Amino acid sequence: MGSKSSLALFVLLTVTGISKSSYYEPGFGYVNDPGDVFDYDYNDYKFEEEIQKEIPCSPPPEVANGETIVWGEGLLLEYRCKPDFFPVGITHGACDLSTGRWTIGPPVCAESGCPELTAPNHGVVNLDVSGGIATFVCRQGYFLLGDEILICEQGQWKGIFPLCAVTPQPNKRTKTRERKPKKDNGQGSEFSLESSDETCFYNAVSPPVIANAVVNTEYEVNRRLHRYVMVATYTCMGGFRLRDPDVTQLFCRSMVWGADAWPDCIAEDDLCEIDNGGCDHYCTPQGKNRYACSCKEGYNLASDAKTCKDANECAIDNGGCEQECFNTLGSFFCSCRDGFVPKDTSCIASTAKTVPELVISAAKPSPE
């Protein structure tokens, strides 16, 4: 190969990102030596020591009454509290390379020495062993308004002191997210225009009364029978609207009026009809443009008065259990320690030679 050809090949290899230590491998072309570090676009040469200096995440936020430690080449994070303080929250995290963000935020460094707390009416307050964290729980039939947890900082409790408000009780107007499905017998509609007949007309069977609605009878063509049949069309009175604007009619078949879904007139200001008022479980109208949420047994309203969260029955009077109380989602159960056998929520000494280490006693009692 001549000198000009050699120079052209050298320029070609340099422009395309192939280093002087590259080698040719059949089927793959020129391959870089593993000791060289190139970026994937072959537009820039980066040394390995330069890459190691890059920090994927920005400096993490500082923690009050503590220190922030970044280590592991800028990929690991640790929060430490000052002496006489203890952390509330997660203290160890890492840099998420996919988002460039830290996986945790700073915890709270709490301390003891805050004034004694009084439980709200219809509730209890529990302090942890350090005396720096106060947890509030409302009794059955009440829900918490305010912060569930207060933290002691610089000799003062931080947060909104909670109150226990009365939980609204469901009534006959209460709605839920659980709607009854439409009838489906797998053989088509039981009541429809095509399946209707003339029996209600000839036997003078009037359409049923639907609350807050006005009915008008009219005649439409049944193409199966090739004749007109009577149908009942409903409109809502003032101040009411149809739950489903497409459901307005009932049909007659064998002297019975019906439909897969009946027209239903609801109050225009009934906010429970719109996404259940945002309530997790129950929504009860309380007058014009007002409503209240409530929860199933075993759950309490959260401070937003809409969300339902599990009620920790064991947090108050140990759930009525003599020895051990275990909270479960929507319920709880009692148990007995080694050497005792259960009797309702009580535990009695066992006379057997071998006793299981833990014996389940009684589940949450059914409401009376």
pLDDT, tens digit (0-9, with 9 covering 90-100), for 31-53: 444 444 444 444 444 444 444 44
At 178 the pLDDT is 61
Query: Average of pLDDT values for 252-260?
Result: 91
At 343 the pLDDT is 80
Within 13 Å and on the Cβ side, how many CA atoms surround 290? 4
CB neighbourhood size of 181 (10 A): 7
Report the predicted TM-score, pTM, of the whole model to 2 decimal places: 0.46
At 297 the pLDDT is 84
- CA–CA gap between residue 73 and residue 53 (Å, rounded): 8
Alpha helices in the chain (DSSP H): 3-15, 48-52, 199-202
Least confident among 67-81, 184-198, 327-341? 184-198
At 233 the pLDDT is 94
Cα 246 to Cα 198, 217, 234, 250, 259: the distances in Å are: 24, 17, 11, 12, 12
Secondary structure string (H, E, C) spanning 90-153: CCEEEEECCCCEECCCCCEEECCCCCCCCCCCCEEEEECCCCCEEEEEECCCEEEECCCEEEEE
Whether the per-residue pLDDT at 73 is higher than 90: the answer is no
Start-to-end Cα distance in the chain: 101
Contact indicator for 200, 191 with CB cutoff of 8 Å: no
pLDDT, tens digit (0-9, with 9 covering 90-100), for 117-154: 888 888 888 888 678 888 888 887 788 888 888 988 88
Query: Average of pLDDT values for 265-271?
Result: 83
